Structure 1
């Protein structure tokens, strides 16, 4: 059994850190929602809660992708793969992984480009008037890490 290289170890540590960021996003969403509900009872809702929860949920999903993939936590439809002999099943897995790398690689590039466009345009959110580009940049980082994890699966 070979030891993982420094790149694989770095990607694994990055995925673990990213999972902690996803957990922090979930905790912040929960806190914002609960606080808003309680304050609505006293007729003092928090402005921008819906917007904040939307941003945090997008970040949470993007940050969770890499670690979930490393741990094999995705729901997979393995109906066909389970019925195949080992060699074709391995070929199918590699083909799907390559398609995912291509698809999410292109999405990552486009999201990064979009983040820069939003920064140049000084785009802000409707209610809170906060810059939108850092959220898109965070999603881009999460998806980029996901692509890196997928690349390590091709060994």
Structure 2
């Protein structure tokens, strides 16, 4: 049986690892963009640089969600919530969290199904001709971790 403390620790470690993956994606995006721009000067642009940056950008966002949520790093517009007393504010936060769990939970399930469909169809990217399903699987994993972190916020 897994205790709540162990689960929270595992989620925190998973979110930290995921944030490192997001950082690696950002570094890859910067490297691909800089190299492509530099090589264009010599008339040797990198084929698929735009495609690579797009894939890495999507992965970066998905991988950053869980850790950003744990750290409370999202931008929050709380004009209404700041004016509420503590009890209704707590109710509003839980309601919003529940809506996010449902929305991203459904989105994660659909993305996972889509990744399997892409793998089965052997779908590849247009320029580089690399399989697309691993990218969608990575996005699914990042969103799944985000949903798990949201669930811990309901306590």
Match in the other structure for 1:12: 12
1:153 aligns with 2:153: yes
> Secondary structure of 1:130's match?
coil
1:37 aligns with 2:37: yes
User: For the residues of structure 2 that align with 1:139 and 1:56, how far apart are their CA atoms?
Assistant: 10
TM-score (norm 1): 0.97
**Aligned-CA RMSD value:** 1.0
> Secondary structure of 1:5's match?
helix
User: For the residues of structure 1 that align with 2:12 and 2:144, how far apart are their CA atoms?
Assistant: 13
Match in the other structure for 2:123: 123
Please report how far the alpha carbon of residue 4 of structure 1 lies from its aligned counterpart in structure 2 after TM superposition. Answer: 6.2
Match in the other structure for 2:135: 135
> Secondary structure of 2:127's match?
coil
> Secondary structure of 1:17's match?
helix
Question: How many pairs are equivalent?
Answer: 153
User: For the residues of structure 2 that align with 1:125 and 1:112, how far apart are their CA atoms?
Assistant: 18
Match in the other structure for 1:63: 63
User: For the residues of structure 2 that align with 1:150 and 1:46, how far apart are their CA atoms?
Assistant: 39
User: For the residues of structure 2 that align with 1:136 and 1:60, how far apart are their CA atoms?
Assistant: 12
* Unpaired stretches in structure 1, ≥5 consecutive residues: none
TM-score (norm 2): 0.97
